Amino acid sequence: MANNKTAHWKDLTLLRKRLDSAKQDKMMNEEKKAEETELFTKYYSEWKGEDDSFKHIPRFYYRLAAEDEVLLQKLREESRAVFLQRKSRELLDNEELQNLWFLLDKHQVPPTTGDEAIISYESFLKAGAFLHTRVYAKLLHNDPYGRISIMQFFNYVMRKVFLNDSEHINRDVLYDVAGQGYLRESDLENYILELIPTLPQLDGLEKSFYSFYVCTAVRKFFFFLDPLHTGKIKIQDILACSFLDDLLELRDEELSKESQESNWFSAPSALRVYGQYLNLDKDHNGMLSKEELSLYGTGTLTSVFLDRVYQECLTYDGEMDYKTYLDFVLALENRKEPAALQYIFKLLDMENKGYLNVFALNYFFRAIQEQMKIHGQEPVSFQDVKDEIFDMVKPKDPYKITLQDLVNSGQGDTVTSILIDLNGFWTYENREVLVANDTDSNTADLDDK
Instruction: Express each pLDDT in 12-33 by its tens digit.
Output: 666 666 666 666 666 777 777 8
The overall average pLDDT reported for the chain is 82
Query: Among the three residues 165, 198, 222, which one is the final residue of a domain in this structure?
Result: 165
Residue 302 lies in a domain: no
Q: Please, are residues 273 and 213 in contact by the beta-carbon 8 Å criterion?
A: no
328 assigned to some structural domain: no
Instruction: Yes or no: say if 192 and 250 are a contact pair by the CB < 8 Å rule.
Output: no
Whether residue 442 lies inside any domain: the answer is no
State whether 184 and 125 are in the same domain.
no
The answer to whether residues 186 and 276 belong to one domain is yes
Q: Is the pLDDT of residue 113 over 80?
A: no
Q: Is residue 400 domain-resident?
A: no
Q: Which of 186-200, 309-323, 418-432 has the highest mean pLDDT?
A: 309-323
Q: Do 164 and 87 form a contact (C-beta atoms < 8 A)?
A: yes
192 and 161 co-located in one domain: no
In a domain, 222, yes or no: yes
Is the pLDDT assigned to residue 276 strictly greater than 90? yes
In a domain, 26, yes or no: yes
Contact assessment for residue 166 and residue 84, using Cβ atoms and an 8 Å cutoff:
yes
Q: Per-residue pLDDT averaged across 212-224, rounded?
A: 96
Same-domain status, 24 and 51: yes
- For the entire predicted model, the pTM comes to 0.69
pLDDT at residue 136 in the model: 78
Domain check: are 155 and 200 in the same one? no
Q: What is the pLDDT of residue 251?
A: 84
Among 246, 280, 314, residue at a domain's last position: 280
Decide: helix, strand or coil at residue 139.
helix
Q: Give per-residue pLDDT as tens, 383-408.
A: 999 999 999 999 999 999 999 999 99
- The reply to whether omega before 338 is within 30° of 0 (cis) is no
Domains contained in the chain, number: 3
Same domain, 48 and 28: yes
Closest-CA residue to 205 (of 279, 257, 269, 285): 269
Same domain, 161 and 172: no
Q: Are residues 223 and 137 in the same domain?
A: no
CA distances (Å), origin 420, targets 7, 224, 356, 365 = 106, 22, 14, 8
Q: Are residues 124 and 191 in the same domain?
A: no
pLDDT at 349: 95
Residues 133 and 212 in one domain: no
User: Which residues, other chains included, contact 221 with Cβ-Cβ below 8 Å and sequence gap of 6+?
Assistant: 188, 233, 238, 243
- Report pLDDT for 309: 96
150 and 231 within one domain: no
pLDDT tier for residue 235 given thresholds of 50, 70 and 90? confident
For residue 34, the enclosing domain spans 3-55
